[in-house]
A and B are shown apart, each in its own frame.
Chain A
Amino acid sequence: MTLPSTVRRLAALLTVLLVTACTGSGPGGPETPAADRPGDIVVASGRDVTGKNGIRQQLIDDWNRQQEKAGTGYRARLVELPGSADEQRSQLLGALQSGSAAYDVVNLDVTWVPEFAAAGLVRRLPDGVLDGDVIKSVADTARWDDKVYAVPFNSDVGLLYYRRDHLRAVGVPQTDLSTGVDRARLQELIQSLENDPPKGYEQGWTTQLAPYEGRTVNAVEAFASATPELALTDAEGRYVATVEQLAEGIAELRRRTDPPYTLQDAVHSDEGATLADFAAGRTAFLRHWPYAYRTLHQTFTDEQLGVAPLPGRAVLGGQNLAVAAASRRADKATELIRFLTGKESERCLLDAGFAATRTSAYDSAAVKCHLTAAAPSASPTGESADRMPRDDAGRPAYAGRILLPALRSAVQRPRTPLYGAFTQTFTAQLGALFGDRPPSDAELARRLDKALRKALPD
């Protein structure tokens, strides 16, 4: 494609000006004269299915108190979106594209960042918003095309939960698996349980294989475990995998979901269903997210429940905050994001059960949360009901030892502006594996390759 030279020159000029316009000020540059007009800063965020919106609301309330005290005239307002991630994405996309609703700050799933950035729906942010304290793997979810478009708010990573009491009952000498197990050891452990099953026990483990994002997550974990350094897409989001790589990944996914080890219901299960099956004792192992740590400890004691890194590779999840391109209060919105993702806020999120995005939340004695509800202190009556094990500083007990390393070594799902088409295709094609007459690895790999090429055209 050739463009007339004037147009090309103009495009180059625009590029320069745009970068200025979008960043407000370059690193080290002068602050833009305040273009913002005081008023409400609207934060659009999905209804939190883990039921912890409390801490997010409290952080926003805290910021508002500061603004009120300083008399700035700004006030942040949380607008809740539907619980379904598909509906959140649809509303955010449709609203930012058309202007049907006015948002200043949007909370994006990590997989949506490339799409919103590439479409120009969110602003480029100063590089400095991602300082060295943000865990590197997590910080990478906030960039697209080497530029920063978002700031990680809370992270997420796949973990392995297991029943220590069941392992003890069948004579496993070492029931602390927190240093990690590989898939082969996991299968041995499941075999010993098969020989002498606890009451109510059905199969070794369960995970999220229903046809939704959970299946994509589990499949990516299998694919990344089978082929080290596997990339389904390149840095520009173009599809680059080979049929052979897909076949290896499919073989691994098949091994992981074999009927002798995996609860049959897993094929219809989402996060809630797997949590309930594990809590009911139908399996001894469970793949789940960090928030299950708090939930499961309402049912199980420390002696009954263990948590460990997932065998093989684990997928990174989480949400990032971004500034809408059309926001009229972009500078203040950026300031709000800095606050919500700052050291103290991240510590509050960690204490409330989220996976914090900053190293300091896990290891710095100086960083504390001053909001009370994040970690209710023991009551004088002894009736307080927070059963999540905590360390001496009030963090979830497993945070530094298991959660932080898991986040550091987690893999991302493919990063592409066409993620919606990718995940829809990936989930639908892999469904054949769980049908009545599953195709061979090679055959399914060929089909998947063809479908992905159509969904992610060069």
Chain B
Amino acid sequence: GWGRQAGDDRRPSVVRTAAAALLALLRSGATALTGAGRRPRPPGGPAARPADRPTARSATRVTLVLALVLAALGFGSYGIVSVTDEPSSCAPPLELRVLTDPDLEPTVSAAAEDYLTSDANTTGDGCRRSGITVYSAGSADAVTALAGQSDAWQEPRDEGTNPQRDVGPQPDVWIPATGADAARVEDAQDTDAVARLDADDEPLAYSPVVLAVPRRLAADPDDRVEPSLSLLITALRERGADAEVRRSDPEFAASALLATVGLYAGGADPGWAEQKVTQPGPPSPTAADLLCTLPDDDAVDKRAAALVPEFLLRSGVGCDRATREPRIAHYPGDVPGLEPTFVRVRWQDADRDETARDTAAEDFRTWLGSADGRAAFARDGFRSAAGEHTPLDTEGPLPTGVLWAPAPLTETAGRDEMDTTLAAYRDAHGPGRVLFLLDSSGSMASLWEGPSGGPGLLEQSLGGLGGRDEYGVWAVFGTSGDKSPYETLLHFGRHTRKEAVRAVDAARVRDAEADPRAALLAALDDLTARGPDARPRLVVHISDGEDDSRLTGANLDEVLARARAANVPVAMVSLETGACDPGRPALRISTASGGRCLDADENLGAGLTDEVARTGTGEED
């Protein structure tokens, strides 16, 4: 196999297998060549028999056959060539790509780091068997990509849909926040799917989603477990008239979607239920971010309860700010808990190292289930997946605000309830209105082409808008003052995605500077003039920050004042790095308006798509 072929005392047998396979293929070279349209499968090592010496074949054919052997075996030159020169060093290990939920990433990363240097992952020669990279993606994006975009994930064909760029590597292992995510994918996959899931029945650990209440507003210990979230929220409001409830982004972190299941439970109208968790500005992406953001405003920190996984009351203290209001966990009976579950993902045609990859994934799975593997989950405050869900860490003191065994903890999340809750959440605010401002000044020339260019980013984000949403696109250029600071590329209204893409494709860079001040003021005026505040609205400003010099002093103050007054969030998207650093105009404008600031330090495509999707109802409508 891959990870063990060099520096390992099994090498002779690898060589023998490779040699036997080669000879077998040489013998049947013609067959292999005629089947060139299909990817040849690796011949079985033990079954392959020695054959005659290759005497009568042309050099070309031998070369071609060899290339096929190499491709089929997944062997490059090293595993074989190195036999003759460097017997001792370790071969690069097999790489496992591990996708997880954003809330779980710190814990899964810590576990993977433990595993990499563990005896279980070390050969007799001190070499690593596997390498592991842990990364996370928004849970709704991960489910959508695995369910309906696995072909595009394997082979991205157009710039609009590329999970390799927007979600991340094709996972070999997926550890979602709940097994229900895997069930959602399997249910939605059609027969063309090229990613097949094999989910464990039992989760790795457990953590309930709790209402973390500031200590001065906490209920008596006997009243901290209630059958429903709405009872907990009603009681909280009775204890403090100014109390608020905050939740992170249900599209991004599964814990927020689980909380939303409780919020909409008992047939509550989603639009009405969402009122309980409204907040100025966009929601925090993860629960940990939410807990770190609350202390930014002392008053908010003292009155806001947060819907977060219980484990964060122990581990989620890595915020910049040292002091924050201690929070006490209240346990709702109708919010399903987090149940991180190991899911093996196999990709069609990924047959170069099938057995070795299966072994590597299985070794990691086995280790995660062992006491060593559970240690990272225990350190971070998770509970046992089974029985009474007692804390995994039985040695240390119970974190402040956490109950030892808050019975009854709820049942596992259901596949359907997560799907319907997400759909209801997206629909709760009704169709939205978005105005895109695309900087078309001369400096955009080098930031124009390709999927990372201004038009490419805009087109990607259109997936978040459906047939009932209304939107328009302006090209922003010109500073003359007497003329309009923009030109309409797509008139404001309902459009098909195709129609919109065609309009954006026709945009071109102008040999002129731009006046972002005038364009932003005009956009805010335009959207506010279009009627009722109740509909979600968004201005998206895409630029390279080149003309930010026009956003200083009184000019900036004017935009800030209008942005605050208009009650329309402005997403400031900058194709340069550092545009969202403290004090920069983009950050100040987006903050004043309650919108998000995105710059080239992060994945702009995914970030912008999330912002637009939050405003719109989505393409599937």
Contacts and interface: CB of A to CB of B under 8 A. Distances in A.
Interface string B59-78: 11011101100110011111
A120 B12 contact: no
A21 B88 CA distance: 26
Interface string A73-86: 00000111111101
Interface in B436-491: 441-443, 445-453, 479
Given A90-B97, A236-B86, A81 B511 contact: no
Interface in B348-364: 349-354, 357
A271 B578 CA distance: 9
B79 to A, nearest CB: 6
A100 interface: yes
Contact of B445 (A51, A83, A91, A376): A376
Interface residues of A, number: 100
B237 interface: no
A8 B11 CA distance: 12
Given A11-B83, A295-B577, A87 B601 contact: no
A410 B75 CA distance: 34
B406 interface: no
Contact of B583 (A14, A119, A275, A280): A280
A396 interface: no
A59 B172 CA distance: 33
A99 B442 contact: no
A95 to B, nearest CB: 7
B576 interface: yes
Nearest to A17: B66
A58 B80 CA distance: 40
Contacts of B87: 1
Contact of A417 (B2, B89, B126, B601): B89
Contact of A22 (B15, B77, B453, B546): B77
B170 A100 contact: yes
A121 interface: yes
Contact of B450 (A56, A277, A379): A56
B302 interface: no
A14 B168 CA distance: 37
A87 B600 contact: no
A53 B133 contact: no
B23 to A, nearest CB: 8
Interface stretch (A207-215, A307-315, A382-390): A382-390
Contacts of A32: 60, 63
A109 to B, nearest CB: 14
A458 interface: yes
Contact of A101 (B89, B170, B452): B170
B77 A18 contact: yes
Given A15-B80, A49-B600, A79-B162, A97 B94 contact: yes
A374 B603 CA distance: 24
Interface in A83-121: 83-84, 86-87, 89-91, 93-95, 97-102, 115, 117-121
A189 to B, nearest CB: 24
B251 to A, nearest CB: 19
A169 interface: no
A270 B77 CA distance: 37
A127 interface: no
Given A418-B92, A457-B125, A95 B583 contact: no
B475 to A, nearest CB: 15
A385 B125 contact: no
B170 A97 contact: no
Given A57-B449, A93-B131, A280-B583, A17 B170 contact: no
A280 B155 CA distance: 42
A55 B66 CA distance: 38
Contact of B70 (A325, A380, A383): A325
Contacts of B86: 236
Given A32-B63, A100-B347, A326-B352, A15 B577 contact: no
Contacts of A53: 449-453
A52 B447 contact: yes
B91 A119 contact: yes
Contacts of B16: 7
Contact of A3 (B15, B63, B81, B603): B15
B581 interface: yes
Contacts of A386: 442-443
Contact of B446 (A19, A54, A237): A54
B325 to A, nearest CB: 24
B74 A99 contact: yes
Contacts of A52: 446-447
Contacts of A22: 77
A14 B22 contact: yes
A238 interface: yes
A120 B75 contact: yes
B117 interface: yes
A99 B76 contact: no
B398 interface: no
Contacts of B452: 47-48, 51, 53-54, 80
Contact of A236 (B67, B71, B89): B89
Given A14-B19, A84-B135, A276-B578, A91 B97 contact: yes
A81 B153 CA distance: 11
Given A50-B600, A383-B479, A384-B511, A91 B164 contact: yes
B66 A21 contact: yes
Given A7-B19, A14-B80, A97 B133 contact: no
Nearest to A98: B350
A374 B479 CA distance: 24
Interface string A309-335: 000000000000000011000000000
A102 to B, nearest CB: 7
B393 interface: no
Contacts of B557: none
Interface string B351-380: 111100100000000000000000000000
Interface in B199-222: none
B193 interface: no
B295 interface: no
Nearest to A97: B353
B512 interface: yes
Interface centre among A20, A78, A276, A379 (most CB of B within 10 A): A276
A80 B164 contact: yes
Contacts of B116: 421
A454 interface: yes
Contacts of B545: 298
Interface of B: 2, 9, 11-12, 15-16, 18-19, 22, 39, 59-60, 62-64, 66-67, 70-71, 74-84, 86-92, 94-97, 116-117, 125-128, 131, 133, 135, 154-156, 162, 164-166, 168-170, 172, 347, 349-354, 357, 441-443, 445-453, 479, 509, 511-513, 544-547, 575-578, 581-584, 599-603, 605
Closest 8 CB pairs of A and B: A120-B76, A276-B581, A90-B133, A91-B169, A57-B450, A385-B443, A457-B126, A276-B578
Given A14-B19, A373-B448, 13 more contacts: A11-B81, A20-B59, A42-B155, A47-B603, A50-B600, A53-B452, A83-B602, A99-B74, A120-B77, A272-B577, A275-B577, A295-B576, A386-B443
Interface of A: 1, 3-4, 7-8, 10-12, 14-15, 17-22, 32-33, 35, 42, 44, 47-58, 61, 78-84, 86-87, 89-91, 93-95, 97-102, 115, 117-122, 124, 236-238, 270-273, 275-277, 279-280, 295, 298, 325-326, 352-353, 372-374, 376, 379-381, 383-387, 417-418, 420-421, 454, 457-458
23 contacts: A1-B87, A4-B12, A12-B84, A14-B22, A14-B80, A51-B544, A54-B448, A61-B449, A79-B164, A82-B135, A94-B170, A95-B169, A99-B349, A99-B353, A101-B155, A101-B170, A120-B77, A272-B581, A275-B577, A295-B578, A325-B70, A372-B445, A379-B511
